[in-house]
Amino acid sequence: MWIRKTEREIKAEHNRKTLIIFFSILFVSLFISIMLDIFVYSKIEGNFNPQELLEKTMFRVPRYFAIALIFAFIGTRWKERRLAVCLRCNRAKRFDQISACECGGEYVELDKLKWVSDVGGREEESL
């Protein structure tokens, strides 16, 4: 059955998800920027001198890091489509401002709920 998470659980999960998204976007965008720099500029300049290419790439890394930070920040602020679940009938829908269900229950955001199965009078969390 669905039960509400505590505010502490909600905040901890939000922080964890935000950090994962931030560092994932940061790493991927930095990696892509450096790879593009190595392959595109070496083609444009027409030479593939590894020492010179490495020096020029390292000179540009702070610029790419700043761009990657911007992408990572924007990525953490991106709003995803959220789901809501009725606590009475377990019907799901996309979250909107209408919180009343047809069965008389109320819709609650799925991010604020956790699934707990009742096994022989003992509650266990399951993923």
Domain total in the chain: 2
Domain co-membership, 69 together with 92? no
6 and 62 within one domain: yes
Q: Are both 99 and 64 inside the same structural domain?
A: no
| Same domain for 48 and 19 | yes
Are 111 and 68 within one domain? no
Tens digits of per-residue pLDDT, 12-64?
A: 988 898 888 888 888 998 888 888 877 777 677 666 677 777 777 788 888 88
Q: How many Cβ atoms from other residues are within 10 Å of residue 107's Cβ?
A: 21
Domain assignment of residue 110, given as a range: 83-125
Judge contact between 47 and 73, C-beta under 8 A.
no
Instruction: At 105, give phi and psi (nearest 5°).
Output: -85, -170
Q: CA dist 91 to 41, 57, 82, 88, 101, Å?
A: 54, 53, 14, 8, 8
pLDDT at 76: 79
- Residue 79 has which token pair? 């709003």
- Condensed to tens digits (0 to 9), the pLDDT of residues 107-126 reads 888 788 888 886 555 544 54
pLDDT at residue 127 in the model: 44
Q: CB of 96 within 8 A of CB of 105?
A: no
> Is 111 found in the same domain as 72?
no
Verify that 14 and 62 share a domain, yes or no.
yes
Q: Are residues 64 and 24 in the same domain?
A: yes
Rounded mean pLDDT of 82-99? Answer: 81
Q: How many angstroms separate the CA atoms of 58 and 42, rounded?
A: 14
Report the percent of the chain where pLDDT is more than 70: 85
pTM higher than 0.85 for the full model? no
Q: Considering 41, 60, 77, which residue would you say is the last residue of a domain? A: 77
- Amino acid of residue 14: H
